[in-house]
Amino acid sequence: MISIGDLTIDQTSSRVWRADREINLSKTEFEILCLMAKHTGDVLDHSIIYPEIWGSGFEPQSKNLAVYIGYLRRKIEQPNESQLLQTVRGRSDMSWNQYEA
């Protein structure tokens, strides 16, 4: 189990909760979330994320990551909840917002 703030990730069962709310994620969304959770405290560049998630078939210029981060935000960050994911503007990097694992 990985916990970041009130987000809990169970890698064994591929399940995610935000407080008491279970969140249903696609396989790709779950893989991105786990990769980011393993690097809590680090800023992950596209060049790190793309090969881990999509292999060599996608270029960092692809919009796939932005689309999936949008999906993740809508699912794990409800209007009444704090923001977990942070985009580092101008660098296209992703990190966790003020949380430690």
Q: Which of 26-35, 37-46, 58-67 ranks highest by mean pLDDT?
A: 26-35
Residue 50's CATH number: 1.10.10.10
Residue 87 counted as domain residue: yes
- Residue range 61-75, pLDDT digits in tens: 677 888 888 899 899
Q: Which domain does 86 fall in, by range?
A: 2-96
Cβ atoms 78, 63 nearer than 8 A: no
What distance in Å separates the CA atoms of residue 93 and residue 65, rounded to the nearest whole number?
10
Q: What are phi and psi of 7, to 5 degrees?
A: -95, 130
Count of domains for the chain: 1
Q: What is the pLDDT of residue 23?
A: 95
pTM equals 0.81
Residue 101 counted as domain residue: no
Across-strand partners of 16? 9, 23
How far are the Cα atoms of 12, 43, 67, 89 from residue 84, in angstroms, in the given order?
A: 22, 13, 17, 15
Place of tokens 């942070």: 86
